[in-house]
Structure formats: C-alpha cells, structure tokens
Amino acid sequence: MEPRLTTHTLSRFSRRSALVLAAALTFAATGYAQTAAAPRVKLATSAGDIVVELDAAKAPKSVENFLQYVKDKHYDGTVFHRVIDGFMIQGGGFTADLQQKPTRAPIPLEASNGLKNDKYTIAMARTGNPNSATSQFFINVKNNDSLNAPNPDGYGYTVFGKVVAGTDVVDKIRAVATGNKGGMQNVPLEAVTIKSATLLAK
C-alpha cells in the first residue's frame, strides 16, 4: 500500500520547508549585510584616486580607528612619506614639510585576524610596540608574507582592508624617485599628497 499524504504529513512538510526557507533567507540577509557593511574610503591623491574597502568584521578596532581619522580630516594634506618599491607605500602621519601630525591614543593589535599582507592590502603601521598603531597605514605592493603574524617579531602587522580601485595609482606611487629628507629615508623627492580621504556612500 502506498503511503498516504495526510494533512498531518503535509503540515509537517510545510513547517520543515518554511524553516529551511527561513534559514536560507537569514543566511542570505547576513551575507548581504556583511557585504553592505564593508565601508569604502577614497584617497584622492596627487597621483590619482585609490579606493580601499575595509573589513570591519575581521579588524573592527582598526577600521573604526581609520574611519575616525577620515571623519576628522586627519589625512587631508598628509603625504606618502615612506615609499619602498617591492615592499610598500606608507602614509597618514606627516604633512608635506614632514611635520608629524598629532594623533589619538594607539589601538590594540589585530594582526591575528586571518587577513594577510598580500599585494594591494592596507595595513596599520606601528613601532616595535605591537599595540602602538595610530594614524599611519601602508599599502603592500607585493605579497609580504614576512609581515603576517607571528612574523617578523612575534606579533605581525594588522591588515584591515584592500584596494578595490586605483591599483594603477598604487603602482605609480611605488615607482617614484625617493631619497633622504628630514632625517628620514625612502622619502619621495616630489611629494605624493593625500588631498582628501572621504567615506563613500553605499
């Protein structure tokens, strides 16, 4: 005898289907929310525009810190003060005359978040103290595995986003002529200025 589809059976089937559908919709909504929640910042530089997408899920403190500096207009008028082709370009701390700008308190390290210092990722610069990052950041111009936690000093460097537009501008900056200036090495001989840093609308 073939099994009969009773009202009770259909009811159980419908409930199960509804639960599966609800779970699928929740997953889809969560995935969308994560994508939508990834803020993008445009760095309008004298060499062209760079857009970085920030990973607030994996580096919440670093992203919040960076966005606060953007909101405060801290980066406007700063320069890429350290450029090493084949390594990275660093900025966010000095004016064109190499005067260091005041910063807020440092933030804790988030280098063990699973994000790697791969080409075109953006990471926080710091001193030998792992919890010393403030406003300065760098963009990797190659895969810098030596900066991934626990390298190179037992701590690593926190990646908090990636370049999603303007990789050609990054490549242009990494190739500029550099020299010694203001007591620092690897300084672009012709200033590469961040004219503005703005949070892009969704």
Residue type (1 letter), 18: A
pLDDT in tens, 42-59: 999 999 999 999 999 999
CA–CA dist 140, 168 (Å, integer): 13
pLDDT in tens, 147-199: 999 999 999 999 999 999 999 999 999 999 999 998 999 999 999 999 999 99
Coil, helix or strand at residue 4:
coil
The whole-chain average pLDDT of the chain stands at 88
CA–CA dist 121, 89 (Å, integer): 11
Using CA atoms, how far residue 178 sits from 80, 104, 128, 181, in Å, is 11, 29, 24, 9
Q: For tokens 């300084």, name the residue.
A: 187
Query: Taking the model in full, what pTM does it have?
Result: 0.82
